[in-house]
């Protein structure tokens, strides 16, 4: 529950309507209380901190001026939506953030009527906002549509595609560009604020209309419009947005609540076409540890509010992403054609390890997965050896480029697919569920998945040596299993798996890091006298057909196991078994995949349990298929 403190105005704010009629002094106090509430909440739950702290005043101003949920407020990505959630009937549930059965870390339609559009991938807000604006117009409504998009999200082409469409369409909508990295804005000060108030005011806009009527018959409308745009561009910037059809206002200080309230009231009264308000904010505003951090505490674990120190888990094996980054950096020492490419996630993918050693060969292209893939294709086409490191969920955005620019041309781009499988607190939007199927469908693609960190290191090397076609290796979020990585790596034989335990009744063929659960399941089965073979597939494409046929021939039951959606590795194996006639003689096959649902956030362990991909589920499916064995004994072993 939210803590109640003496004289705290926020305790009386349950919905945006409670902000109406408040004095500006009250609104400023409420903003500060929202900021402290965000800090307190995230210190307990972990999550995105810096971006939310940067938009506190903006969020309060928007909700004080506009009338959500009738007015549609769309947050791009959703990293910055915690203050919005506090003000929209979810204040008392904020400490359930990113937990099972709790609030999502992003906006979510099913969660609240104040979240008109769910977001967790960047650069969607303007497209969605134009959809809402057109729906409003077609239905004869009169509400406002407000999209808040960060300067990072503006690096993606989709944002400009949407702005181009919106500018040509001329539907009434408001885009607020939250520039929190100073990557766009010139210095902000009193003169900029003055011009912004002026050009958004009713008298100025009235004068423009009168002038337009006067000069139109004289044929001077176009030259006059250009002159005004250049004058405003000189005073305030924004010529690019004007050229795209938006009426540009800004830049303004996004922490100056008085200015924001004045501007938003003016903008609310404007009736013609799309408007872009450019605000400059500071990530981590109001919390010194975040302000002083290199990443402004973008994403944090639980932390001490007093010191800012984040909780650290017990030391364990290296994370898979670190193994990838360290291996690539080591290989880069002996091959100067290796390049690393990431889409705004250098630390998230650990390409920054490579980048520190070889900055001239490390490329962060921003939130632009489509560009990242085709950029890598261009590098490969001229003899370089690019590794394109992108989260599975984000690579989906570049799939067309994977098909047309890489696969069809058989270019040796190496895809390092991070966050494959379930990701815990970030939920369905960030789960890496689909890459096995969508990459395995492509002719010539080599698809690999390691069972441990040593196997991942070998796959990085294997991928490097594939020069005639594209390749991909997927690995999950989190730590490895603790195996030793050899100092001298040996590449894998393409399309060849391995048997790690021999048995005779049941075969478990695992693709990826569920191999450890498969081995535990084999132990459970062995306790009942049921002998199980456990094999590590290593490759989903090309398949190890010889291994698969051997397992089918020598066992009564064959289980396939993967951390991906239906239509992936298990489907490939089934297709081969059917085509080679292995299913004609009574072989019992079970395919274990992620369930055919979008799983909500929880701990990874709980999510895999729900998915039926833990040892007890694997053993139970084997017993069910075999038709003998004690299911209750499996449950007892699992709970022991």
Q: Is 153 annotated as a binding residue?
A: yes
Evaluate whether 38 touches 82 at the Cβ level (below 8 Å).
Answer: yes
590 φ/ψ angles, rounded to the nearest 5 degrees: -130, 135
What is residue 606's three-state secondary structure?
A: helix
Evaluate whether 521 touches 473 at the Cβ level (below 8 Å).
Answer: no
Angle at which helices 190-200 and 257-269 pack, to 10 degrees? 20
User: Sign of the CA dihedral 216, 220, 221, 224?
Assistant: negative
- Judged by phi (left if over 0) then psi (alpha if -120 to 50, else beta), residue 293 lies in beta
Rounded-to-integer distance, Cα 362 and Cα 475, Å: 21
Q: What share of the chain is helix, strand, coil (3-state, %, to 5)?
A: 45, 15, 40
Q: Is 430 annotated as a binding residue?
A: no
Rounded-to-integer distance, Cα 495 and Cα 328, Å: 22
- Catalytic residue (choose from 91, 296, 397, 616): 397
Q: Is 369 annotated as a binding residue?
A: yes
Rounded-to-integer distance, Cα 368 and Cα 155, Å: 7
Q: Is 193 annotated as a binding residue?
A: no
Evaluate whether 491 touches 458 at the Cβ level (below 8 Å).
Answer: yes
Rounded-to-integer distance, Cα 366 and Cα 368, Å: 5
Rounded-to-integer distance, Cα 467 and Cα 413, Å: 9
Question: Which residues, 6 or more positions from 409, have their beta carbon under 8 angstroms from its beta carbon?
Answer: 377, 381
Q: Is 357 a catalytic residue?
A: no
Angle at which helices 631-639 and 515-526 pack, to 10 degrees? 120
Q: Is 122 annotated as a binding residue?
A: yes
Evaluate whether 619 touches 559 at the Cβ level (below 8 Å).
Answer: no
Q: Is 283 a catalytic residue?
A: yes
- Catalytic residue (choose from 33, 369, 517, 562): 369
Listing DSSP states for 546-566 in one string gives HHHHHHHHH-SEEEEEESS-T
Q: Angle at Cα 457 formed by Cα 454 and Cα 460, nearest 5°?
A: 150
Q: Is 194 annotated as a binding residue?
A: no
In the beta sheet, which residues pair with residue 589?
558
Q: Is 397 a catalytic residue?
A: yes
Q: Is 316 annotated as a binding residue?
A: no
The CA–CA distances, whole Å, from 281 to 251, 413, 481, 553, 598 equal 10, 38, 42, 65, 34
Spell out a b/e string for 435-463, using b for 16 or more CB atoms within 10 Å of the CB, else e.
Answer: bbbbbbebeebbbbbbbbbbbbbbbbbbb
HEC string for 162-199:
HHHHHHHHCCCEEEEEEECCCCCCCCCCHHHHHHHHHH
Contacts 24+ apart (CB under 8 A), 439-442: 439/402, 439/415, 439/472, 439/541, 440/540, 440/541, 440/568, 440/569, 440/572, 442/402, 442/403, 442/407, 442/470
Q: Is 155 annotated as a binding residue?
A: no
- Judged by phi (left if over 0) then psi (alpha if -120 to 50, else beta), residue 326 lies in alpha
- Catalytic residue (choose from 283, 285, 419, 541): 283
Q: What secondary structure letter does DSSP report for 601?
A: P
Q: Is 407 annotated as a binding residue?
A: no
Evaluate whether 338 touches 328 at the Cβ level (below 8 Å).
Answer: yes
| Exposed / middle / buried, residue 170 (Cβ in 10 Å: 0-12, 13-18, 19+) | exposed
Q: Is 78 annotated as a binding residue?
A: no
| Residues flagged as binding site | 79, 120-122, 151-153, 180, 287, 369
Annotated binding site for Mg(2+): 151, 180
Binding residues for thiamine diphosphate: 79, 120-122, 152-153, 180, 287, 369
> Mind telling me the catalytic residues?
283, 369, 397
């Amino acid at each position: 529950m939210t803590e109640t403190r003496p004289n705290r105005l926020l305790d009386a704010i349950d919905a945006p309507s409670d902000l109406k009629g408040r004095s500006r002094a009250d609104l400023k106090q409420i903003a500060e209380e929202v900021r402290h509430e965000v800090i307190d909440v995230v210190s307990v739950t972990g999550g995105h901190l810096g971006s939310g702290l940067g938009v506190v005043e903006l969020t309060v101003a928007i909700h004080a001026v506009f009338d959500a949920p009738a007015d549609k407020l769309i947050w791009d990505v959703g990293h910055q939506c915690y203050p919005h959630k506090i003000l929209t009937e979810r204040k008392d549930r904020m400490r359930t953030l990113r937990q099972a059965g709790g609030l999502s870390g992003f906006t979510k339609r099913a969660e609240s009527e104040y979240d008109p559009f769910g977001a967790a991938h960047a650069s969607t807000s303007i497209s969605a906002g134009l959809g809402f604006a057109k729906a409003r117009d077609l239905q004869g409504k009169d509400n406002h549509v407000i999209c808040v998009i960060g300067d990072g999200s503006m690096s993606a082409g989709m944002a400009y595609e949407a702005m181009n469409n919106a500018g040509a369409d001329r539907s009434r909508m408001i885009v607020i560009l939250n520039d929190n990295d100073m990557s766009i804005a010139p210095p902000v000060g009193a003169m900029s604020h003055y011009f912004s108030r002026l050009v958004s005011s009713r008298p100025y806009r009235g004068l423009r209309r009168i002038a337009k009527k006067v000069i139109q018959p004289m044929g001077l409308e176009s030259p006059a419009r250009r002159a005004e745009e250049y004058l405003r561009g000189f005073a305030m910037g924004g010529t690019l947005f004007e050229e795209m059809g938006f009426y540009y206002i800004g830049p303004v200080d996004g922490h100056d609540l008085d200015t924001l309230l004045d501007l938003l009231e003016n903008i609310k009264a404007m009736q013609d076409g799309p408007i872009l308000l450019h605000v400059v904010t500071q990530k981590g505003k109001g919390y010194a540890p975040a302000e002083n951090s290199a990443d402004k505490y973008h994403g944090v674990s639980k932390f001490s509010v007093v010191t800012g120190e984040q909780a650290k888990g017990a030391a364990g094996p290296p994370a898979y992403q670190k193994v990838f980054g360290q291996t690539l950096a080591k290989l880069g020492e002996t091959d100067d054609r290796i390049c690393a490419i990431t889409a705004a996630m250098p630390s998230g993918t650990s390409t920054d390890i490579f980048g520190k050693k070889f900055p001239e060969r490390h490329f962060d292209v921003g939130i632009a997965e489509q560009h990242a893939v085709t950029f890598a294709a261009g590098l490969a086409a001229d003899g370089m050896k690019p590794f394109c490191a992108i989260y599975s969920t984000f690579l989906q955005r570049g799939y067309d480029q994977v098909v047309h620019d890489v696969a069809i041309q058989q270019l040796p781009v190496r895809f390092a697919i991070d966050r494959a499988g379930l990701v815990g607190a970030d939920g369905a939007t960030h789960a890496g569920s689909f890459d096995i199927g969508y990459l395995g469908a492509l002719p010539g693609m080599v698809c690999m998945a390691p069972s441990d960190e040593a196997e991942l290191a070998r796959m990085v090397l294997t991928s490097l040596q594939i020069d005639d076609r594209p390749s991909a290796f997927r690995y999950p979020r989190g730590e490895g299993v603790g195996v030793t990585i050899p100092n001298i790596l040996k590449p894998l034989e393409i399309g060849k798996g391995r048997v790690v335990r021999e048995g005779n009744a049941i075969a478990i063929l695992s693709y990826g890091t569920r191999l450890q659960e498969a081995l535990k399941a084999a132990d459970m089965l062995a306790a009942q006298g049921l002998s199980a073979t456990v094999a590590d597939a290593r490759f989903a494409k090309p398949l190890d057909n010889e291994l698969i046929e051997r397992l089918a021939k020598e066992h009564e039951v064959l289980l396939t196991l993967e951390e991906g959606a239906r239509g992936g590795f298990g489907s490939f194996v089934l297709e081969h078994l059917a085509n080679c006639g292995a299913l004609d003689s009574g072989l019992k096959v079970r395919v274990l995949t992620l369930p055919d649902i979008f799983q909500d956030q929880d701990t990874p362990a709980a999510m895999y349990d729900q998915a039926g991909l833990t040892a007890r589920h694997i053993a139970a499916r084997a017993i069910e298929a075999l038709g003998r064995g004690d299911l209750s004994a499996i449950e007892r072993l699992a709970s022991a």
